[in-house]
Amino acid sequence: MNKTVLVTGASQGFGKLIAKKFQNEGWNVIATMRTPEREFELTQLSNVLVKRLDVTNTKTINSAIAEGIAHFGKIDVLVNNAGFGLQGPFLHSSEEMVKKQMDVNVFGVFNVTRSVLPYMQQENNGLIINFSSIAGLVGFPHTAVYNATKYAIEGFTDGLQYELNPLGIRLKLIEPGAFKTGFVSSMDRPEVPDNSIYKKGWDATIAQINAMLGEGQDPQEVADITYLAAIDDTDRLRYLVGDDAKQIMEGRTQMDDEAFKTMLIESFNL
Ligand SMILES: NC(=O)c1ccc[n+]([C@@H]2O[C@H](COP(=O)([O-])OP(=O)(O)OC[C@H]3O[C@@H](n4cnc5c(N)ncnc54)[C@H](OP(=O)(O)O)[C@@H]3O)[C@@H](O)[C@H]2O)c1
């Protein structure tokens, strides 16, 4: 029997490539997204079921999971990929913006995980792959809230292993650097007034982030590593993806806090 993966945020970016990668490897795929009526590619593929799922809406989560299981029999792997970036000075980010960022990137992962667990527990088998980021390991300028969401995912995934491993359920983290997806155009950015003390630094950060992500690496690498993580039976938890992420982590482990901070300030032209 084919294995089945459920992917969140499969409308574009990593999520769509992950859905196609698993399908191409012979898996059944429950490709979930907020607006399935706009999807015309995945719907053409065999063994792909496209379903509506908004990670902030429990009703859509429960029905996508139930319909996926009714169709394919089970869910072997959950890929919690859906997410977006809030980027900008915290002082200019409204409570509503911050809450939305936490709701999607953190509570969204909690929500989908909570709903899929009873099925995996019943099978005494399952794998949950959560999307973190290099931003889940290192803080970046004007990225504090996004950093907080990905640090939360790191902690959640790391800690949850001890509760779920005894139930036959394993966890893994994907930690990409900057890859070319819809991430930049989907970003939420607060207005930064001209008289803000952050104006100069924020303009420099935008230029840096747009350059890093705009010229970003090929996202297929992330989809391929996600697949490798899914078939990796070892207890390896973290998969750092991208030369940039590896270079940053090397610096982070070699430098002390002060030297690393100075290096980032200089490289962001703050
Ligand atoms: N690209 C990078 O460089 C990078 C680096 C590190 C980590 N990441 C992480 O990788 C993941 C995927 O991002 P991406 O780069 O592929 O960006 P993307 O192209 O913007 O795709 C993001 C996906 O998340 C979905 N999404 C957003 N809010 C949602 C919600 N409430 N419910 C369900 N789906 C929702 C989007 O759906 P809609 O089409 O409906 O908006 C879209 O399918 C995110 O968790 C991101 O934080 C990205």
- For residue 27, the enclosing domain spans 4-267
Which residue positions in the chain have pLDDT lower than 70?
Answer: 214
CA atoms within a 13 Å half-sphere pointing along the CA-CB vector of 62 = 4
pLDDT of residue 215: 77
pLDDT digit string, tens, across residues 136-165:
999 999 999 999 999 999 999 999 999 999
Mutate to test the pocket of ligand 1, among 100, 186, 225 (most ligand atoms within 8 A of CB): 186
The pLDDT assigned to 204 comes to 87
Number of independent structural domains in the chain: 1
**Quick one: DSSP state of residue 216?**
P
Q: Report the separation in Å between the CA atom of 83 and the middle of ligand 1, taken as the mean of its atom positions.
A: 4
pLDDT of residue 160: 98
Q: Which pLDDT does position 73 carry in this prediction?
A: 97
Which amino acid is it at 201?
G
**Given this model, what pLDDT does residue 209 score?**
80
The CA–CA distances, whole Å, from 30 to 6, 42, 57, 71, 121 equal: 5, 10, 17, 9, 19
CATH number, position 12:
3.40.50.720
Clarify whether 146 is annotated catalytic: yes
pLDDT computed for residue 270 by the predictor? 84
Q: What is the pLDDT of residue 88?
A: 96
Is 132 annotated in the active site? yes
Q: Which residue has the tokens 């994907």?
A: 174
Whole-model pTM over 0.75: yes
